[in-house]
Chain A
Amino acid sequence: MGKKNGKRKISVEASRKALLNDLRSKCTGETITKQISFANDDVPNYLKWLKERQEASRDVKIIVR
């Protein structure tokens, strides 16, 4: 935990856990735990490609006038 720009920063895990506990306490039914399998790597591959493409774009100089 720390403070940055005057904002209190909480870890993702802590934030998610607090929210989950809050919802568990409010919901009326039973929660279900389940393994969910990713079917393909389309998104990781795309994100990798996009990152490289955006990095290369940052240095492109086009004259605008």
Chain B
Amino acid sequence: MPKIQMEPIEGSKYYARTVHGGNPIPRDIARPHSNFDFIDDQFQALPTLRRIMSQVRQHNGRTMVIEELKEAEDIRQENEDIKIRYPGSYPIKVCRLSYYTKEFKTKRGLANVKQEEFLGYAIIKEDYITGLGKRIRIYESVIKPSGSENDFIRGVNEWVCSVGDNRFEIKGYLYAQQNNITNVCAHVALRTAAARFCTTGDMTYREMNKMIGVDHINRKVGGTDGTGLNTVEMREILESTGAKCEVIDYTDVQEHRYQDPFQKFLYGSIESGFPAIVVFETADRPDVCHAIPVFGHTFNEDTWVHRAESSYFKVGPGTLYIPSESWVSMYIAHDDNWGSNFCIPRRYLRTRRYCKKLADKCSMDQGCVQYVIATLPKEVQMNAVQAEVIGADYLFTILPQLPDVDEVWRKRLREYARNNQLILRPILLKGKDYSEHLRKVRDWERRRTFKIKVEPESWLWMVELSVPELFPANRRKVGEVILLAEKQPQHYRDFKNFLFARVPGFFAFYLRGQAPTPIYEFVPCALRSHVELYGCEEND
């Protein structure tokens, strides 16, 4: 794998978001100011800016600061590359717009803005491209996500933005729009995802292009004769940042439903705070795909979906359960063509169906998911789907054979298991986070367990076990299995990943013996009913 040639990324002059701007001009954007008029007049009715400013309106933004930027290093690199691709091209303007809930009209007012009054920024770049004319786009933007209590966006970066002599911070996943000259949608999706793994700043388009040999002369990515990126190159670029990519291909349509729905890979990463990229067909050109980064989801506690037969995940004839992903209502994603922080209905994206009549892919399906790139930290050897089914294997085997099965919760769980109504949720976390979680949780009668020490820096998969009346309503669970995530799982049962399981009243440890008849030791545990899910602890 080629190593990234690292450019100098230190210092405020490197990124357009941190470079010192020109004269900052505050502008009142409260009603009756019209964002439509402003964007029509100054930014050629740019649709992606409309989306950004509509989010600002939702956040009750009252002031915008406009700055014209001098060349930052990342912008200079792009301009240089554009000139190689289309000689004679030149940059026209780069503007940084920043948004605030505070009303102010002067630089002094800007200097007194509190951190929590900052809503984010957008950098707009306009170029003249030889033969193509004027091009305008959002070079990058981070806008505060909606903040609804049913939105779950984990693993966000904190971005620093300079405005005048001030520095503000904003949390979110960076959005960018392709120029379709020296970068395409694959680059911008990678930029969003790669930032999760970059220790300083984010990855530039030049770094990505260098890695895969794009010089804009012999190999071009954008424009009418550009070849874009392929999925292998996307994986290699992302892995160079320290991500482990879990990829899955859905181009080969099968007669039966896929046994590994793409949502499981998507959800498995984003629920633990790691982004994924979805690659799907475009309606106008089926031979070329579009890519979007997905980094969050919404949760619908009253959904009916889990009651539908089709929502069961069937590992095999004897192993069926309800994935916690059934309560996802929307995925939260950026679409570089249209803007940031969109909600995409869970069932809107789908893989292509099989047509029995044609004995081939359904010709009526369009815009289908072709490929998914899910990410995890590079140390993690077990993916979310493996963790979930391995967790199911241990839990569903232990539950019916627990000591004293007539105890109320053990009895109930046996019934839920018999009716395939158990819910599993895989979460990747560090050992120290699990120890802290167990320290905080209380069962329904407010009992707590003793402190336990798990290796603090080890990555673990915690596969949480719940039932349909607990999981969505009061966000509680009845147990979990803890798996060592840094060990490559085998398809046979070797117990190398299994640390222990916690079920009502017991911790279960593997003691000795081989599958299929191992010996376990059950250690009494004070938690005899249900406790809070990870991230929902009441004793924070």
Contact = CB atoms under 8 A, between A and B. Distances in A.
A26 B453 CA distance: 12
A32 B521 contact: yes
B516 A16 contact: no
B127 to A, nearest CB: 19
Contact of B289 (A46, A50, A51, A63): A63
B393 A35 contact: no
A42 B315 contact: yes
Contact of A65 (B222, B499, B509, B515): B222
Contacts of A65: 180, 184-186, 221-222, 226-229, 288-289
A50 B60 CA distance: 47
B149 to A, nearest CB: 35
B403 A39 contact: no
Contacts of B393: 38, 42-44
B499 A61 contact: no
Interface string B433-456: 000000000000000001011110
Contact of B499 (A16, A24, A43, A49): A16
Chain B interface bracket (under 10, 10 to 19, 20 to 34, 35 or more): 35 or more
B519 A35 contact: yes
Contact of B249 (A7, A44, A57): A57
B55 interface: no
B287 A63 contact: yes
A19 B450 CA distance: 12
Contact of A22 (B185, B228, B397, B452): B452
A34 to B, nearest CB: 6
B319 interface: yes
Contact of A44 (B227, B288, B452, B491): B491
Nearest to B393: A43
A32 B521 CA distance: 6
A50 B318 contact: no
B390 interface: yes
A54 B247 contact: yes
A12 B454 CA distance: 12
A10 B453 CA distance: 14
Given A62-B251, A64-B229, A31 B522 contact: yes
Nearest to A8: B455
A28 B226 CA distance: 69
Main secondary structure of the interface of B (DSSP, over half): mixed
B184 A40 contact: no
A20 B221 CA distance: 56
Contacts of B492: 44
Interface string B383-395: 0011001101100
Nearest to A41: B316
B517 A40 contact: no
A43 B316 contact: yes
Contacts of B490: 47
Most chain A C-beta atoms within 10 Å of own C-beta, residue among B185, B386, B489: B386
B308 interface: no
A16 B230 contact: no
A3 interface: no
Interface stretch (B137-145, B196-204, B231-239, B350-358): B231-239
A47 B386 contact: yes
Contacts of A12: 484, 487, 495-497, 499
Contacts of A53: 248, 260
- Residue from A16, A51, A57 with most neighbouring chain B CB atoms (10 Å): A57
Interface in A5-24: 5, 7, 10, 12, 15-16, 19-20, 22-24
Contacts of A7: 457
A64 B319 contact: no
Contacts of B247: 54, 57-58, 60
Contacts of B489: 47
A29 interface: yes
16 contacts: A16-B500, A16-B509, A29-B524, A33-B522, A36-B519, A40-B317, A42-B317, A42-B393, A44-B493, A46-B259, A58-B232, A62-B279, A63-B287, A65-B222, A65-B226, A65-B229
Interface of B: 180, 184-186, 221-222, 226-232, 234-235, 246-249, 251, 259-260, 279, 287-291, 315-319, 370-371, 379, 385-386, 389-390, 392-393, 397-398, 401, 403, 450, 452-455, 457, 484, 487, 489-493, 495-497, 499-500, 506-507, 509-511, 513, 515-525
Across the A-B interface, the 6 shortest Cβ-Cβ residue pairs: A42-B316, A65-B228, A29-B524, A43-B393, A48-B491, A47-B491
